[in-house]
């Protein structure tokens, strides 16, 4: 049975215990190549800083590398954490990417720091005081550059036509996990990507976005992507076993502890003890775990709740081979392949040599 639901990947470049950030980055490139052949529509890479668990601190670099290794995927940032940067610099970088990979580049922007407050402060150029909380103004300036719609009286108006990648431009998305992000996306006439893997109670925010959407020159109707967390395997038991590693990292994150993705056996032992002392105040996490049929039904249910046209799947696992297999099984369950069947040979060969994490 086919579906009109598009599927994408949100890759956080997880670092497994005993491996390195370099291994994680190479695994991201390998997974992107695989998903290009499997029929996924979109592939975004995240931005995180100073964490032992997630390797990508510069999505724009990974986007360029992924672009050279893929043909069909839309590729982009999930997202660029705009408060760290000059809107002009972000616009220039993604203008260049759009010129190099025409019609394929997404610029997903977010307000969150992607790190702790001290690291966010370390990223500032001027450290005499904390940066202002002026995200709406930053976003408006960025859109002015990208869309070449800077108000005539703006002091930077002459810069907008000079973006180096013109006439190409990225498609801008607003990322979020809260009511405020839904309001900003609606007011700005932007497509909206909601992080269900962070906040599984966002269906109401997606509805708020649709109800308050104001058409823009670049978008006439609201568009929603929902990003759930999922693990797929050949059996429910194996999927639950693989998911133990991510569950341990989430449990410790709720306590303010950051670790590399742990081996399954250690994670299973930890979760037994953690279950005896469960933190009832921790935010629940939606888990779509199981066989291809069960995971497809779970993804479709989440997409229906959000009235989303697309789902971007987040998968954390200790073994890179397990992540590859999960995305392969989901692609098969949704019958994504289409005219990309010549790329599926990556599945049987195991792709390029990488670490086993």
pLDDT tens figures, 64-122: 999 999 999 999 999 999 998 999 999 999 999 999 999 999 999 999 877 778 877 78
E strand map for the chain = 6-11, 42-45, 74-81, 105-110, 171-176, 192-194, 224-226, 230-232, 288-290, 310-313
pLDDT grade for 277, boundaries at 50, 70 and 90: low
Q: 127 phi and psi, to 5 degrees?
A: -110, 20
pLDDT number for residue 279: 55
Q: 195 phi and psi, to 5 degrees?
A: -85, 80
pLDDT grade for 354, boundaries at 50, 70 and 90: very low
Average pLDDT of span 220-238: 98
Of 17-26, 283-292, 302-311, the least confident:
283-292
pLDDT number for residue 257: 92
For residues 279 and 257, is the Cβ–Cβ distance under 8 A? Answer: no
pLDDT number for residue 355: 38
Could you tell me whether strands 310-313 and 6-11 are parallel, antiparallel, or unpaired per DSSP bridges? parallel
Q: Which domains does the chain have, with CATH numbers?
A: 6-235+287-349 (3.20.20.30)
Residues found in the chain: 357
Average pLDDT of span 174-203: 96
Region of residue 285 (phi > 0: left; psi between -120 and 50: alpha; otherwise: beta): beta
pLDDT number for residue 340: 56
Using CA atoms, how far residue 265 sits from 241, 253, 273, 322, in Å, is 9, 19, 13, 15
Q: What percent of the chain has pLDDT over 70?
A: 91
DSSP state at residue 107: E
Burial of 157 (0-12, 13-18, 19+ CB in 10 A): middle
Max avg pLDDT among 10-19, 115-124, 276-285: 10-19
Average pLDDT of span 37-61: 96
pLDDT number for residue 338: 58
For residues 179 and 114, is the Cβ–Cβ distance under 8 A? Answer: no
Of 124-128, 155-159, 222-226, 247-251, the least confident:
124-128
Token reading at 307: 């009235």
Using CA atoms, how far residue 223 sits from 172, 190, 349, in Å, is 12, 8, 37
pLDDT number for residue 126: 82
In a 3-state reduction of DSSP, which class is residue 310? strand
Q: 157 phi and psi, to 5 degrees?
A: -60, -35
Short-list 306, 301, 314, 300, CA closest to 205: 306
pLDDT number for residue 350: 44
pLDDT number for residue 345: 47
Average pLDDT of span 258-284: 82
Of 161-175, 204-218, 263-277, the least confident:
263-277
For residues 169 and 92, is the Cβ–Cβ distance under 8 A? Answer: no
pLDDT tens per residue, range 320-329: 999 999 999 9
pLDDT number for residue 116: 78
Q: What percent of the chain has pLDDT over 90?
A: 80
In a 3-state reduction of DSSP, which class is residue 54? strand
For the chain, state the CA radius of gyration: 20
Compute the mean pLDDT over every residue in the chain, rounded to the nearest whole number. 91
Distance, CA of 297 to CA of 295 (rounded, Å):
5
Short-list 257, 261, 263, 258, CA closest to 241: 263
């Amino acid at each position: 049975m086919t579906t009109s639901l598009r599927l994408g990947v949100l890759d956080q470049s997880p670092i497994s215990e005993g491996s390195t950030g370099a291994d994680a980055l190479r695994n991201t490139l390998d997974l992107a190549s695989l998903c290009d052949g499997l029929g996924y529509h979109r592939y975004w890479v995240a931005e995180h800083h100073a964490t032992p668990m997630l390797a990508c601190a510069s999505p724009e670099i990974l986007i360029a590398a992924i672009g050279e290794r893929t043909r069909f995927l839309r590729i982009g940032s999930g997202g660029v954490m705009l408060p760290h940067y000059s809107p002009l610099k972000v616009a220039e970088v993604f203008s260049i990417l759009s010129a190099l990979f025409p019609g394929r580049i997404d610029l997903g922007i977010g307000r969150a720091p992607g790190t702790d407050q001290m690291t966010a402060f370390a990223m500032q150029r001027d450290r005499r005081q904390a940066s202002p909380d002026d995200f709406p103004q930053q976003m408006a300036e960025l859109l002015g550059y990208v869309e070449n719609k800077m108000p005539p009286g703006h002091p930077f108006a002459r810069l907008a036509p000079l973006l180096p990648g013109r006439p190409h431009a990225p498609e801008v998305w607003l990322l979020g996990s809260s009511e405020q992000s839904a309001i900003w996306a609606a007011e700005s006439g932007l497509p909206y990507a909601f992080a269900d893997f962070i906040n599984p109670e966002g269906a109401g925010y997606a509805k708020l976005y649709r109800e308050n959407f104001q058409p823009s020159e670049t978008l006439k109707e609201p568009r929603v992507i929902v990003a759930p967390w999922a693990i797929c395997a050949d059996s429910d038991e194996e999927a639950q076993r693989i998911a133990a590693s991510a569950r341990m990292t989430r449990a410790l994150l709720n306590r303010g502890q950051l670790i590399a993705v742990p081996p399954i056996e250690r994670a299973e032992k930890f979760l037994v003890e953690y279950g005896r002392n469960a933190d009832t105040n921790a935010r629940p996490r939606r888990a779509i775990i199981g066989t291809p049929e069960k995971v497809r039904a779970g993804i479709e249910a989440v997409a229906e709740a959000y009235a989303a046209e697309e789902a971007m799947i987040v998968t954390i696992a200790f073994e890179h081979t397990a992540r590859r297999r999960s995305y392969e099984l989901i692609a098969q369950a949704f019958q994504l392949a289409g005219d990309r069947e010549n790329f599926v040979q990556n599945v049987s060969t195991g792709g390029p040599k990488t670490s086993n994490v």
